[in-house]
Structure 1
C-alpha cells in the first residue's frame, strides 16, 4: 500500500494523504480509447473514492497502481493496457490489417 489511509470525514487532510490518495495523488491523467487513466501509486482503498466520483462506471486498479475509469457494461472491464497489448500482438500477426 502507498501512503496513509484517508482521514476520517471530520478530520483535516495532512500532506501525506493529499500526496498519495486518489485523486490528489494523481501524477498524470490521460484519455485512452474512451477510458480515463489516472497514473499514480494507488491501491484498493482509493477505489471507493473513484466510484463516488464516477458513479455507475467500472473502476479498475491497474498493475502499475493507476486508476482507470471505464464505461459501464455487463462484463467486468480489464485494464486498457491489456487491450492495447492484445491489439499490438494482433497487428504483428496480421501486418496487413
Structure 2
C-alpha cells in the first residue's frame, strides 16, 4: 500500500467525522471496500455508503440501515406538511 492509497482509504481518507442520530458519519468519497472494512472494524454494526459518497456506520439492528440523509429528508417533508399556513392558524398566501 502506497502513502497515497493509505491517505485515500477509510478511515484516514475521511475529511471529517461526526455522530449523527447515534450513527458514525465519515465524510469523504468511499466505496464498497470501505463498507467491508467498517464491518470488520465495527462487528455487528451496519455500514453503508450514502448518496453523497460518505460512509455511515449504524448501530446493530434488524434489516438494512437507512441513511441519515434519507431520514432527514423524511423529517423535513413531514415538518413542511405540518407547517402549512392553515395548520398554523394563518391564511394561505
Same fold per TM (> 0.5)? yes
Give the length in aligned residue pairs.
Answer: 84
State TM-score, norm by structure 1: 0.81
TM-fit CA distance, 1:76 = 0.8
- The answer to whether structure 1 residue 37 and structure 2 residue 48 are counterparts is no
Q: Matches of 1:66 and 1:20 in 2, distance apart? A: 13
Q: Matches of 1:55 and 1:63 in 2, distance apart? A: 23
Runs of 4+ in structure 1 off by over 6 angstroms are none
RMSD of aligned Cα (Å)? 1.2
State TM-score, norm by structure 2: 0.84
Question: Which of 1 and 2 has greater Rg?
Answer: 2
TM-fit CA distance, 1:54 = 0.5
Query: Structure 2 stretches of 5 or more lacking a match?
Result: 88-93
